[in-house]
Chains A and B, each alone.
Chain A
Amino acid sequence: MATAAARDTAGSPTAFDAPAGPVGTEAFQRAFDAAVAADERIEPRDWMPDAYRATLVRQIAQHAHSEIIGMQPEANWITRAPSLRRKAILMAKVQDEAGHGLYLYSAAETLGVSRDELLDKLHAGRQKYSSIFNYPTLAWADVGAIGWLVDGAAITNQVPLCRCSYGPYARAMVRICKEESFHQRQGYELLLALSKGTPEQHAMAQDAVDRWWWPSLMMFGPPDDESQHSAQSMAWKIKRHSNDELRQRFVDICVPQAESLGLTLPDPDLRWNEERGHHDFGAIDWSEFWDVLKGNGPCNEERLSRRRTAHEEGAWVREAAAAHAAKHSNDTTGATRA
């Protein structure tokens, strides 16, 4: 990987006023800080602190990996979707997720890493993906619960990222959030159809919400006092709100939605707090969260192994495409668009 400084020696245009003199000096740090403070966007060819670059690579890669691994629990139901309309919606959604993965790997690549390198790290277990995808989809209603709760939590997390200080990530998030909110509405609508359907369908919907509620709340990450990256990310304007703030916002949004769905949320301590103007809710089982994060969740093993298998079994296809492209690099007649 080229160093940050090497990339900037070409005198490329910058979003903020780059100071004169050698790259990477304190003057650059001050100009960077001023640009972030002024809510300017940092762009790929701008100078940036190494730690800022590393944090973004980590976060964007993890985000991309989550889209890719996140295809699995839903793809689990594509071949069993109960109507052709639902099947089309689900296929389109899983396809969108692959597309989101592609946007995000592209955004990460602007920071000087390659998609292959990031995928290798995912496969080796050296980069994480969202712990929510280590839960199994045991019934059709889970597809709805994922749409409503998991995508709902993702949107709550991601909408502020549309204003993130790093331009390519922020722009990817604008596109992704539009599609995610569509998925979220479709998930809600799926659950509503079940909730208003037969008693068996209603029970299926309630069971799915019971199983997905707490894991969804864990998607916002550890409590603020245990979140190791939060303070720095907020200072860099990569993150705009704390984990606990976003979690509270999500709970406040979900409570009335659950009511109109005719479903209950599995938390006896959940109640409106007039004084705070927010819902109070019960304690999260953080030991489960850390277990899943450490690889001991219900599907960690399957998810990663499936991903590795797809990659390994596809190796000959990728090699063929590369070999074909190399043989025909001088062709003028197509067939080289690998």
Chain B
Amino acid sequence: MTTTPSADTVPTAAALALGDDALVLSHRLGEWAGHAPVLEEEVALANIALDLLGQARVLLSMAGDEDELAFLREERAFRNLQLVEQPGGDFAHTIARQLYFSVYQHLLYDRLASGDGPFAPLAGKAVKEAAYHRDHAEQWTLRLGDGTDESHTRMQRAVDALWRFTGEMFQPVEGIDGIDWPRLESVWREAVEDVLGRATLTVPDGPRSGAWRAGAGRQGLHTEPFGRMLAEMQHLHRSHPGATW
């Protein structure tokens, strides 16, 4: 399916891809509620989760009914990046995941916002949120990377562990036109390398995709923890078919 976005054609595949990224990462951040290392981070992580959930609701509504799409699809039908479904791990893993994604989302939405495609209005609002998320992730990468020996070790482990999921972000998303993906990738890499360098961290040198080929999440091929995440997320909704909440 190759669609040219126009006013009356919502590129469903693209809305799902971007919407699922936001939905799933929001859910993962929501798991931190009550567990954050400091009260200010309870507020910040919930704030970012809420921004992402707001984006997800707009995007999923472009593709259909937000609740049907969130609660009644099985994991093979989700189009999110494998990166965002990774469990939170320790705070460093959460920050590394957030750094990789928010830099990507900020760059992508910045480009979408300046275009005239169907995602421009959403991206125009969301790019401001993404800039804030990116700043938050960068500041914490610096604090953890260039903090204590322990935090440095943990942060390095986290950026290494998630590196293999980052290649997927630059596979062209069906239904999004006008993005120079290779260029987006090099700008992303430059930005991330700059932050990691200032954080006294080593840029990982492993492959940027895992056993799955890059782009697998966008094809509905996910990692094992994702199914359990969905089971928890969807259980109540599925237990009461047709109910309104």
Instruction: Give the B-binding residues of A (Cβ under 8 A).
Output: 68, 71-72, 75, 78-88, 91-92, 94-95, 98-99, 101-102, 105, 140, 190, 193-194, 197-198, 200-201, 306, 309-311, 313-321, 323-325, 327-328, 334-335, 337-338
Residues of B within 8 A of A85 (CB): 57, 245
Q: How far is the CA of A87 from the CA of B136 in the complex (A)?
A: 23
Residues of A within 8 A of B40 (CB): 102
A145 shortest CB reach to chain B, Å: 15
Residue interface bits B52-74, CB-to-A below 8 A is 1, else 0: 01101100100000110011000
Q: A201-B243, A320-B144, A324-B142 are in contact. Are A88 and B57 (CB under 8 A)?
A: yes
Whether A320 pairs with B147 at a CB distance below 8 angstroms is yes
- Selected from A193, A316, A338, the residue in CB contact (under 8 A) with B154 is A316
Q: Is the interface of A mostly helix, strand, loop or mixed?
A: helix
Q: A71-B42, A80-B232, A338-B143 are in contact. Are A88 and B50 (CB under 8 A)?
A: yes
B88 shortest CB reach to chain A, Å: 12
Write the chain B residue with the least CB distance to A88. B53
Whether A98 pairs with B42 at a CB distance below 8 angstroms is yes
Whether A84 pairs with B232 at a CB distance below 8 angstroms is no
Residues of A within 8 A of B34 (CB): 71-72, 75, 94, 306, 310
Q: How far is the CA of A68 from the CA of B41 in the complex (A)?
A: 13
Whether A79 pairs with B232 at a CB distance below 8 angstroms is yes
Q: A79-B31, A88-B54, A92-B50 are in contact. Are A320 and B148 (CB under 8 A)?
A: yes
Residues of B within 8 A of A197 (CB): 243-245
Q: A95-B42, A323-B148 are in contact. Are A201 and B240 (CB under 8 A)?
A: yes
Write the chain A residue with the least CB distance to B40. A102
A to B contact number (C-beta, < 8 Å): 148
Interface size class of B (residues with CB under 8 A): 35 or more
Whether A314 pairs with B67 at a CB distance below 8 angstroms is no
Among residues 154 to 200 in chain B, which have CB atoms less than 8 Å away from a CB atom of chain A? 154, 198
- Selected from B36, B56, B198, the residue in CB contact (under 8 A) with A310 is B36
Q: Cβ of B43 < 8 Å from any Cβ of A?
A: yes
Residues of A within 8 A of B71 (CB): 82-83
Q: Cβ of B209 < 8 Å from any Cβ of A?
A: no
Whether A193 pairs with B43 at a CB distance below 8 angstroms is no
Residue interface bits B201-245, CB-to-A below 8 A is 1, else 0: 000000000000000000000000000000011011100101111
Whether A91 pairs with B30 at a CB distance below 8 angstroms is yes
Whether B30 pairs with A321 at a CB distance below 8 angstroms is no
Most buried by A among B50, B54, B235: B50
- Selected from B50, B151, B198, the residue in CB contact (under 8 A) with A317 is B151
Q: How far is the CA of A11 from the CA of B179 in the complex (A)?
A: 65
Chain A to chain B contacts (Cβ below 8 Å), 14 pairs: A80-B235, A84-B23, A86-B245, A91-B53, A92-B50, A94-B46, A95-B46, A102-B40, A193-B244, A198-B243, A317-B151, A319-B151, A320-B144, A324-B143
Residue interface bits B16-37, CB-to-A below 8 A is 1, else 0: 0000000100010011011111
Whether B151 pairs with A335 at a CB distance below 8 angstroms is no
Whether B148 pairs with A319 at a CB distance below 8 angstroms is yes
Q: Cβ of B7 < 8 Å from any Cβ of A?
A: no
Whether A317 pairs with B35 at a CB distance below 8 angstroms is no
Whether B33 pairs with A75 at a CB distance below 8 angstroms is yes
Q: How far is the CA of A68 from the CA of B43 in the complex (A)?
A: 11
Residues of B within 8 A of A338 (CB): 143
Q: Cβ of B8 < 8 Å from any Cβ of A?
A: no
Q: How far is the CA of A327 from the CA of B144 in the complex (A)?
A: 12
Whether B240 pairs with A321 at a CB distance below 8 angstroms is no
Task: Give the 5 A-B CB pairs with smallest separation, nearest first.
Answer: A314-B37, A320-B147, A320-B151, A95-B46, A75-B33
Residues of A within 8 A of B37 (CB): 310-311, 313-315, 317-318
Q: How far is the CA of A321 from the CA of B39 in the complex (A)?
A: 14
Residues of A within 8 A of B154 (CB): 316
- Selected from A82, A99, A316, the residue in CB contact (under 8 A) with B43 is A99
A183 shortest CB reach to chain B, Å: 14
Q: With contacts A84-B67, A95-B47, A316-B151 known, what are 7 further pairs, Cβ within 8 A?
A: A80-B232, A193-B244, A310-B36, A319-B150, A320-B144, A320-B150, A335-B139
B130 shortest CB reach to chain A, Å: 18
Q: How far is the CA of A238 from the CA of B245 in the complex (A)?
A: 40
Write the chain B residue with the least CB distance to A328. B146
